[in-house]
C-alpha cells in the first residue's frame, strides 16, 4: 500500500492547487509503524526517491498522551531509515488520526475558505453530511495536533479543515483517501475570479532596476491588478508556508524604481520576499527559498477564490514571529518601521 501512497503523494505534489513546494504530507499506518513524509522533502518526489520515514506509532501516541514536548523523539526506526530522514513536523497529527491513510494538503480551495472569519459557517454549509471538524489556527506541530484533538473531541471524523492552514483527510486505504480528497475539493471549489492581465514590459523593467524576479501568469497578475486581492496580500500573511517562503505580507512598490528602491530594501531586510506593483505585476526576491514562486502562485489562487465581501483572518504578529523563530518584540518594531516607509512613498 505504501507504493499506492507514493503514487498519490507524487500526483498531488505536482498539483500546485493542492500542494506547493515542500508543503503537505501523507502517511500510512502499517503493522505498528507510521510511515510519514520526511521533513523538508517534496511530495512531488515521492516516486523518485525515498520520502517516507518509519516511526513507532505506539511511541508517538504515548508521547502525545503523556504530554511530552516532542512525542516523535526516539520514535524513528533508524534501522529502516538508511537515509537518516527526519519525520514531518506534522507526524503527531498523522499519528492522532485513526485512519490507515492520512493526507494533508495546502489546497488552495480549502485555504480560500479556511482564512475567512466565517469559515465555520461556510464549512457547515459546504461539508454538510461529511464527518468533519474545523480546528482553529495553531502553530504547526504538536500545538496543531492538540487543537485537532480538541476540535474532534473524540468524534471519528474523516476530514479536518485547519484554520489558516489547509486540509486533512483520512481513509482506510489510498483509494478512499483520494476519493475523499476529491469530494472535499469539489464541495469547496470556487471559480477563480477573472483578473486583468498585468503589464509584462513594465514589470520586467522595474524588476531589472531593483534586482527582483518578475513572476508572470494570469493567476499571479491578479494579485497586482485586482484591488481587493492586492490589499489583502499587502495586509498580512494568511497561512504558515506563505510566511516561511515569502515572508510577512506582500510589499506594494510604486512603478518608479527610484521611489521603489528604499521600500524594497527595507522590506527585504525584514524578510519580505514578495512585491506587488499595482496594475503591473508581481516580483520575487531572487534570494527567496526554492519553491517561493509556487507559494506566490498559491496566494494568487487562494485570494482569487475569496469573494470580495468576505472578511479574512491574517496571522497575528505573535503567530508570525513564532513561525519564524523571531523575537516577537523586534518583529513588531520592524513591522512598524516598514509601514512608516510605505506611507512616505
Ligand atoms: Zn501543513
Query: What is the per-residue pLDDT for 344?
Result: 38
Distance 203 CA to ligand 1 centre (A): 32
Residues 178 and 267 in one domain: no
Cβ-based neighbours of 82, under 8 Å, separated by 6 or more = none
Task: Give me 334's grid cell.
Answer: 520592524
| Cα-to-centroid distance, 91 and ligand 1 (Å) | 11
Domain containing residue 32: CATH number = 3.40.225.10
CB count within 10 Å of CB 339 equals 10
Q: Which one, of 301, 244, 193, 274, lies nearest residue 89 by Cα?
A: 244
Number of domains in the chain: 2
The three-state secondary structure class of 208 is: helix
Q: How far is the CA of 168 from the centre of ligand 1 (A)?
A: 9
What separation in Å is there between the alpha carbon of 309 and the centre of ligand 1?
27
The residues, any chain, with a CB within 8 Å of residue 104's CB and separated by 6 or more, are 24, 25, 26, 90, 93, 94, 166, 167, 168
Closest CA to 163 of 153, 150, 177: 150
**Separation CA 108–CA 221 (nearest Å):** 17
pLDDT at 338: 60
CB within 8 Å of 99: residues ≥ 6 apart = 29, 158, 170, 171, 172, 177
Return the pLDDT at 154: 86
For residue 335, the CA-to-ligand 1 centroid distance in Å is: 25
Domain that holds residue 21: 2-188
Q: Are residues 204 and 176 in the same domain?
A: no
Which of 188, 213, 239 finishes a domain?
188
Q: Is residue 14 part of a domain?
A: yes
Tell me, yes or no, whether 16 lies in a domain: yes
Instruction: Check: CB of residue 279 under 8 Å from CB of residue 253.
Output: no
Gap from CA of 208 to ligand 1 centroid (Å): 34
Residues 179 and 223 in one domain: no
Pair 207, 180 in one domain: no
Verify that 246 and 310 share a domain, yes or no.
Answer: yes
Q: Which residues of the chain have pLDDT under 70?
A: 326-345
Q: Of the candidates 142, 168, 188, which is a domain's last residue?
A: 188
The answer on 220 and 184 residing in a single domain is no
pLDDT tens digits along 136-154: 999 999 999 999 999 999 8
Do residues 25 and 36 touch, judged by C-beta distance below 8 A? yes
| Residue after which a domain boundary falls, among 167, 188, 209 | 188
Residue 193 domain-assigned (yes or no): no
Residue 81 lies in a domain: yes
**Residue 167 C-alpha to ligand 1 middle, in angstroms?**
8
Looking at the fold, whether 59 and 178 belong to one and the same domain comes out as yes
Is residue 12 in some structural domain? yes
Question: For residue 71, which of 162, 143, 167, 134 has the smallest C-alpha distance?
Answer: 143
Give the phi and the psi of residue 275 in degrees, each rounded to 5.
-130, 140
**Whether residue 29 sits in one domain with residue 147:** yes
C-alpha 165 – ligand 1 centre gap (Å):
6
Burial 326-336 (b: 16+ CB within 10 A, else e): beeeebeebbe
Residue count (the chain): 345
Domain identity same for 276 and 163: no
pLDDT in tens, 110-121: 999 999 999 999
Indicate if 184 and 115 belong to the same structural domain.
yes
Give the separation between CA 227 and CA 345, rounded to whole angstroms.
18
Torsion of CA 329, 111, 279, 21, to 10 degrees: 80
Q: Which residue has the cell 493567476?
A: 219
Cα 120 from Cα 3, distance rounded (Å): 35
The verdict on 207 and 230 lying in the same domain is yes
Distance 123 CA to ligand 1 centre (A): 19
On the CB side of 309, CA atoms within 13 Å amount to 0
Q: Is residue 194 part of a domain?
A: no
Quick check: is 195 in a domain? Answer: no
Question: Is the same domain home to 173 and 236?
Answer: no
Q: Where are the alpha helices (DSSP H) in the chain?
A: 2-13, 57-65, 91-96, 108-114, 119-126, 142-152, 174-188, 200-210, 218-225, 227-235, 240-246, 257-269, 292-303, 317-323, 328-344
Amino acid at each position: 500500500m505504501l507504493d499506492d501512497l507514493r503514487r498519490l503523494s507524487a500526483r498531488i505534489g505536482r498539483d500546485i492547487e493542492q500542494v506547493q513546494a515542500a508543503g503537505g504530507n501523507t502517511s500510512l499506518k502499517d503493522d505498528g509503524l507510521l510511515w510519514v513524509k520526511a521533513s523538508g522533502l517534496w511530495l512531488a518526489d515521492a516516486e523518485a526517491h525515498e520520502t517516507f520515514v518509519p516511526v513507532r506509532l505506539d511511541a508517538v501516541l504515548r508521547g502525545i498522551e503523556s504530554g511530552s514536548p516532542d512525542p516523535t523523539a526516539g520514535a524513528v526506526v533508524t534501522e529502516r531509515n538508511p537515509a537518516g530522514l527526519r519525520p514531518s513536523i506534522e507526524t503527531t497529527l498523522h499519528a492522532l488520526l485513526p485512519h490507515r491513510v492520512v493526507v494533508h494538503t495546502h489546497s488552495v480551495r480549502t485555504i480560500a475558505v479556511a482564512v475567512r472569519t466565517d469559515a465555520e459557517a461556510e464549512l457547515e454549509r459546504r461539508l454538510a453530511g461529511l464527518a468533519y471538524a474545523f480546528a482553529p489556527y495553531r502553530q504547526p506541530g504538536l500545538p496543531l495536533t492538540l487543537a485537532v484533538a480538541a476540535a474532534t473531541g473524540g468524534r471519528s471524523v474523516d476530514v479536518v479543515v485547519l484554520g489558516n492552514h489547509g486540509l486533512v483527510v483520512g481513509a482506510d486505504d489510498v483509494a478512499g483517501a483520494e476519493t475523499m480528497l476529491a469530494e472535499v475539493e469539489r464541495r469547496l471549489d470556487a471559480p477563480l475570479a477573472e483578473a486583468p492581465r498585468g503589464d509584462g514590459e513594465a514589470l520586467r523593467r522595474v524588476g531589472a532596476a531593483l534586482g527582483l524576479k518578475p513572476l508572470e501568469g494570469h493567476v499571479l497578475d491578479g494579485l497586482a491588478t485586482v484591488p481587493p486581492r492586492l490589499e489583502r496580500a499587502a495586509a498580512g500573511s494568511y497561512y504558515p508556508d506563505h510566511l516561511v517562503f515569502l515572508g510577512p505580507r506582500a510589499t506594494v512598490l510604486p512603478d518608479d524604481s527610484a521611489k521603489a528602491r528604499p521600500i524594497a530594501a527595507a522590506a527585504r531586510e525584514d524578510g519580505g520576499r514578495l512585491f506587488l506593483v499595482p496594475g503591473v505585476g508581481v516580483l520575487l526576491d531572487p534570494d527567496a527559498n526554492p519553491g517561493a514562486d509556487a507559494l506566490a502562485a498559491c496566494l494568487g489562487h487562494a485570494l482569487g477564490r475569496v469573494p470580495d465581501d468576505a472578511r479574512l483572518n491574517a496571522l497575528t504578529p505573535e503567530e508570525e514571529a513564532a513561525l519564524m523563530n523571531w523575537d516577537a518584540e523586534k518583529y513588531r518594531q520592524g513591522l512598524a518601521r516598514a509601514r512608516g516607509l510605505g506611507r512616505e512613498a
